Structure 1
């Protein structure tokens, strides 16, 4: 049943969790290589999602799918968690959290652009304007305010962050054709992706993992960012009478994240970060305008 109040509570809980993960990423990467962090986090996420499926009474669905759906999980697992998080964690390994985190938020705009060729949606003028505003923010953050020089603080780190948005948007376009229960599908994607992560970790950084604060932070990422937050957000969307009101909660997350980054990581937040973040969020707000107007019209009807 729809319940807007419950939807907002689920949404706020998700946003709170999302706001902490940039800090958790950096804490974990202090002692772990990106692929080691991915191994720990993915393993924890699989266990959490297994428990969630048991609690929801959906565990049997894991074994009742068609052969093609298991093959689909093998392919999607290579995208998420393997490729997406390897790029994302690589970006956080090279960039300050205050830079990597806002750049990752541009994935929603990339999704709108990729939906044109792959889902047959139309590119609106507002999408083009939103893109110009968003990527102006990217340039401000990536150059740390030295816009005219176009001297990027870490070109590879910026490329990894923007590359992760392309991979994440592609994943969600593929997921639109996935008829499985969302948690069942994500669980199987992670299960099939895990052996690849183990192999890459073994061949590169090694499977001997340092214990301590970094390992705990990686477990936190797996439990909350990869597992519980996904389920909470799914519940928020399912309960929402007005999805745009819930979606707008996302705009709280990057600013709240800067609070954690400042007080826990001790990063001095640059003025260019604030300017760039405002530009990115303004672009995303513009991009959502039509969705909000459509929902308002349906509500009035």
Structure 2
């Protein structure tokens, strides 16, 4: 297979797996609370990331990480996985998966908003329109198709879902200063985040019960949402960046398939009837993300 085909296959495989995680969150939360789910998932993710580093022959490189990079990873670990996934799983615990998943998908818009004060980037009229279109979708989904009423199905759940996008965007903005390779950095983030998650679980919850359904679900979340798919996506982008790979934008656009495919899994696995307002609102969010990608800044970055 040539690089273009490999990039496409790795990209499609990643999108397919990512599309199942919203259902996995919701199904596992039937057996574990958000903190218990995160504790088990984080441990599974650490094992998966360690295995990836071992296969790549980079596990020994952890000894050469500088104290400064270690300190940065510790701070980033407080954001992701600790704070980000606690807030995200709390949102999924309160909201139907078909609402939490599209709302979390607005993280790209949040990233663009925070890039203005934190990275000094400018926002044009196209960016402003993209933000307005995306958050119109948020209102449509959260009000179940009655945006004029401004009556949200679960105000706290909506706030948590949108708040998780702020944490995720901050994590990626601060992560731009890291000099570590992405998998090593993510492994250290999770290693430093795990004690915080354990402490939060002991204080605010209790150790998870040894229920097979909950533990298997958490392992799936940890391995595929937090671990393996990250390496798969990096591999897809690496092949796409090669001269014969077809370009990273072509592969990156595959991510727009994920939220719609996710609704299919949510319907058949979780048993939720997908509301027309969810599809309409998600359409707004995707349109806003697409409009943002067409902005001058993003066109320059893709060249």
TM range (shorter): over 0.9
Q: CA deviation at 1:92?
A: 0.3
Contact 1:31–1:210 (Cα < 8 Å) also in 2 = no
- Superimposed CA distance per residue, residues 115-155 of structure 1 (whole angstroms, 9 cap, x where no aligned partner): 11211211121110000000000000011112111000000
- Superimposed CA distance per residue, residues 53-85 of structure 1 (whole angstroms, 9 cap, x where no aligned partner): 000011011111111111111111100000000
Greater displacement, 22-31 / 119-128: 119-128
Q: CA–CA distance in 2 between the matches of 1:70 and 1:247?
A: 30
TM-score (norm 1): 0.95
Alignment partner, residue 271 of structure 1: 276
Greater displacement, 60-69 / 148-157: 60-69
Q: CA–CA distance in 2 between the matches of 1:60 and 1:293?
A: 38
| Alignment size in residue pairs | 296
In structure 1, list runs of 5 or more residues that go unmatched: none
What secondary structure does 2:147 align onto? Answer: coil
Contact 1:144–1:153 (Cα < 8 Å) also in 2 = yes
- Superimposed CA distance per residue, residues 162-192 of structure 1 (whole angstroms, 9 cap, x where no aligned partner): 0000000110001111000110000011001
Judged with a 3 Å threshold, the aligned counterparts in structure 2 of structure 1 residues 254 and 208 are, in CA distance, closer, same or farther, namely closer
Alignment partner, residue 51 of structure 1: 51
Q: CA–CA distance in 2 between the matches of 1:150 and 1:293?
A: 35
Q: CA deviation at 1:31?
A: 1.4
Contact 1:25–1:221 (Cα < 8 Å) also in 2 = yes
Q: CA–CA distance in 1 between the matches of 2:63 and 2:299?
A: 42
Q: CA–CA distance in 2 between the matches of 1:47 and 1:283?
A: 37
CA RMSD in angstroms, aligned pairs only: 1.4
TM-score (norm 2): 0.95
Q: CA deviation at 1:5?
A: 2.1
Q: CA deviation at 1:215?
A: 1.9
Q: CA–CA distance in 2 between the matches of 1:256 and 1:25?
A: 15
Q: CA–CA distance in 2 between the matches of 1:125 and 1:245?
A: 25
In structure 2, list runs of 5 or more residues that go unmatched: 242-246
> Does 2:239 align with 1:234?
no
Alignment partner, residue 202 of structure 2: 202
Alignment partner, residue 294 of structure 2: 289
Q: CA deviation at 1:207?
A: 0.9
